Structure 1
Amino acid sequence: MDYQQARDYLLSKPEAIEDFPFGEDVAVLKIRGKMFATLASDKGEGRMNLKCEPQQALMLRDMFAAVLPGYHMNKLHWNTIKLDGSIPNGEIQRMIDHSYALVVKGLKKSDRLGLVAKYGEQLISA
């Protein structure tokens, strides 16, 4: 998966918006004002930060050399993924889905229930 494919998939998530609070080099993807990913291009190679459950974060770091502790993030809950082609696209999509679902689960109850009612239970099941 390259930078543009990752960006397209991130923005395909229901109500995802792209913001640039850190400058034009780093996109921050949010749902209802809460960040679920960052995406940056670094020397032609993309990288993104995704939220992850701590045990799964460690497992992914062991499985893939391109998954590192979250750069400038809480390393317990965030991974940095290098978009260097070494991780299958489906696995990257699963990581994005997981990050998005964790953030949706952490939203205020009224926001979370509104999203689930509008888009379905799959928002929080990844």
Structure 2
Amino acid sequence: MNGRELQRCAAMRARELPATTLEFPFGRDVDVYKVRGKVFMLHTEVEDERRVVLKASPSDSLALRDAHEDITPGYHMNKRHWISLHPGGTLSPDMVEELVTESYRLVVAGLPIAQRPVEPHAFGRGQR
């Protein structure tokens, strides 16, 4: 996938997730996807490369970075808890969609129970 396709794939999945909003707090150059006011995905462009930045558990973040050249620490984010997806590598659309869903689940799990739009531990597991 090129950068535009990568971001489009991630955005399509994000828009399917309950209570997702798209905001531009850093200007029109950075798409920020939130659930109940908390960021779970960003689209950026760095040195003419479009990237997707997602939340990940620290152990998953390390494993993903070790397994995929096109996954690196999150650009301008906490490097333990965020990853960047780069275009042109081996990431499939299905994997991108699952990584977006997992980022969403992690953020939802951190919300107060009354604010959660879904049960994070069950949502999206094995089906969409």
TM-score, with normalisation over the residues of structure 2?
0.84
The residue type equivalent to 1:78 in the other structure is W
- The CA deviation at 1:73 is 0.2
How many aligned positions are there?
A: 120
Shift >4 Å, 4+ stretches: none
Q: Which has more helix, going by share of residues?
A: 1
Tell me whether 7-16 or 92-101 shows the greater mean CA deviation: 7-16
- The CA deviation at 1:95 is 0.8
Q: Give distance in 2, aligned partners of 1:67 and 1:85.
A: 9
TM-score, with normalisation over the residues of structure 1?
0.85
The residue type equivalent to 1:8 in the other structure is M
Indicate the SS of the match to 1:122: coil
- 1:105 counterpart = 2:106: no
Over the matched positions of the two proteins, sequence identity in percent amounts to 36
Q: Give distance in 2, aligned partners of 1:68 and 1:86.
A: 13
8 Å contact kept, 2:40–2:54: yes
The residue type equivalent to 1:122 in the other structure is F
8 Å contact kept, 1:46–1:84: no
- The CA deviation at 1:81 is 0.7
8 Å contact kept, 1:29–1:36: yes
- The CA deviation at 1:28 is 0.4
Higher relative contact order (CA 8 A, sep 6+): 2
Which structure 2 residues correspond to residues 1-126 of structure 1 after superposition, within 5 A? 1=1, 2=5, 3-42=7-46, 43=48, 45-112=49-116, 115-116=117-118, 121-122=122-123
8 Å contact kept, 1:67–1:82: yes
Task: Please list every run of 5 or more consecutive structure 1 residues that lacks an aligned counterpart in the other structure.
Answer: none
